[in-house]
Amino acid sequence: MKICIIGNGLTSLVLAKNLAKKKIFVDIIYEHHHKESPSARTIGITNDNFKFLKDLFPKIKNRSFSIKEIKVFNHNDLDNALLNFSSKNMNQMYMFKYHEIYNHILKDIKNFKNLNKIKKKLKTLDLNNLSKKYDLIIDTNLQNKFSTKNFYKKIKKDYFSKAYVTIMYHDKIENKVARQVFTKMGPIAFLPISNDSTSIVISHKVSIKDLDRSYIEKLIIKYNKFYKTLKFSNIQSFNLKFSLLKSYYSKNILAFGDKLHQIHPLAGQGFNMNIRDIKYLSNEIDNKISLGLLIDKTVLKEFENRRKSNNTVFAGAIDFIYEFFQLESRSPKIFSKKLFKLLNNSKLLTKYGSIIADKGI
- Model confidence pLDDT, tens digit, residues 125-162: 999 999 999 999 999 999 999 999 999 999 999 999 99
Please give the radius of gyration of the chain, using alpha carbons only, rounded to the nearest integer: 21
How many domains is the chain partitioned into structurally?
Answer: 1
Q: What is the pLDDT of residue 333?
A: 54
CATH assignment at residue 312: 3.50.50.60
DSSP character at residue 260: T
Q: Which pLDDT does position 82 carry in this prediction?
A: 84
Give the domain extent around 355.
Answer: 2-359
CB-count burial class (<10 Å; 0-12, 13-18, 19+) for 309: exposed
How many other CB atoms sit within 10 Å of the CB of residue 292? 6
Q: What does each C-alpha distance from 160 to 92, 203, 241, 331 come to in angstroms? A: 30, 10, 8, 21
The predicted structure's pLDDT at residue 342: 53
Residues 6+ apart with CB under 8 A from 26: 2, 3, 4, 5, 16, 19, 20, 114, 115, 116
The pLDDT of residue 211 is 85
Q: Is 343 in a helix, a strand, or coil? A: helix
Amino acid at 324: F
Spans in the chain with pLDDT lower than 50 = 334-335, 348, 352
Angle, CA of 50, 263 and 168, to the nearest 5°: 65
CA distances from 46 to 9, 49, 118, 233, 268 (A): 19, 5, 32, 25, 9
pLDDT digits (tens, 9 = 90+) for 7-50: 999 999 999 999 999 999 999 999 987 778 888 999 999 999 99
Q: Model's pTM, two decimal places?
A: 0.91
